[in-house]
Amino acid sequence: MEKTELKEYERIDDLQIKGYRLIQSSRGFCFGMDAVLLSDYAHIRKGAVVMDLCSGTGVIPILLAARYETGRISGIEYQAYYADMAMRSVRMNGLDDRICISQGDVRQVKEAYPQGTFDYVTCNPPYMTGDHGLTNKDPEKAIARHEICCSLTDVVSAAKWLLKPAGHFIMVHRPFRLAEILSCLKEYKLEPKRMRLVYPYLDKEPNMVLIDAVKGGRQRITVEPPLIVYRRNGAYTEEIHKIYGSGGSGKSPGPVIADAAVQE
């Protein structure tokens, strides 16, 4: 793998899959479990062309490349620093021939990409609107968590433009916005086909939802069995270990940085 120069406060984290690694900043927004669960949920078919919106550090494109025999994977990230960090991770892992992440605005995809170019669009978008919680004083973290530079509607509209007919839009979000999410998807003719709720513990409310919507699909949704993250004793469940590839060995399942299963 290509050597890379790190900037101030940056580190390299082991993704524990195919030897791939990721550059992250200790002072920036780091990926959590939501990105890992999304990459597992995507079920990308062989040779498919993929776009990842709101790519951040590039973790989702790299995990997709590790898990699936995809075609070309593109990514859009609004913040120039994170787009640069993501591409340095791509080069470090020798994935230049498969992944390209660009600095860009989700709201301007019509100017940047022809309509109907991609088989799959994935997205781990900002979850919070201005009415949801306190906005982080760090502008980089605020943009990653709150709908400052793109809204749910912006993301869904972009996905509709980018997808081929019958293409899949796969997203992770928060269940408290589920009614809004389903309404928005249907408004843009992205029919929800699969949905799975993620629970931190069996007796707690779900705090993530995984959704697979199909452009122009017929009306019918499959609500899949719930995914439970922790056992009562605080250990990860067998399924979480399998998703992270540790096979239930008792090891910590990968670099669960800023664990999104418990973090707001």
Digit-coded pLDDT (tens) for 129-161? 655 454 445 544 444 454 456 899 999 999 999
**In-domain check, residue 219:** yes
**In-domain check, residue 170:** yes
Domain encompassing residue 228: 10-244
pLDDT value for 138: 52
**In-domain check, residue 261:** no
Residue spans of alpha helices (H) in the chain: 33-41, 59-67, 80-92, 109-112, 139-145, 152-162, 178-187, 238-244
pLDDT value for 249: 38
Digit-coded pLDDT (tens) for 6-50? 999 999 999 999 999 999 999 888 999 999 999 999 999 999 999
Rounded to an integer, what distance in angstroms lies between the CA atom of residue 58 and that of residue 75? 8
**In-domain check, residue 50:** yes
**In-domain check, residue 255:** no
**In-domain check, residue 264:** no
Residue 211: closest CA among 192, 224, 198, 227: 192
What does DSSP assign to residue 133?
S
Residue 215 has pLDDT above 80, yes or no: yes
What would the two tokens of residue 193 be?
């086909």
Q: For residue 110, give the CATH number of its domain.
A: 3.40.50.150
What would the two tokens of residue 93 be?
């892992």
Instruction: Enter the pTM of the model.
Output: 0.87
- The stretch 67-82 carries a mean pLDDT of 96
Total of domains in the chain: 1
**In-domain check, residue 251:** no
Phi, psi values for residue 179, rounded to 5°? -60, -45
Rounded to an integer, what distance in angstroms lies between the CA atom of residue 27 and that of residue 148? 20
What would the two tokens of residue 96 be?
């230049």
For 43, what's the count of Cα atoms within 13 Å in the CB-facing half-sphere?
10
**In-domain check, residue 85:** yes
pLDDT value for 250: 41
58 contacts 39 by C-beta, under 8 angstroms: no
Residue 116 has pLDDT above 60, yes or no: yes
192 contacts 169 by C-beta, under 8 angstroms: no
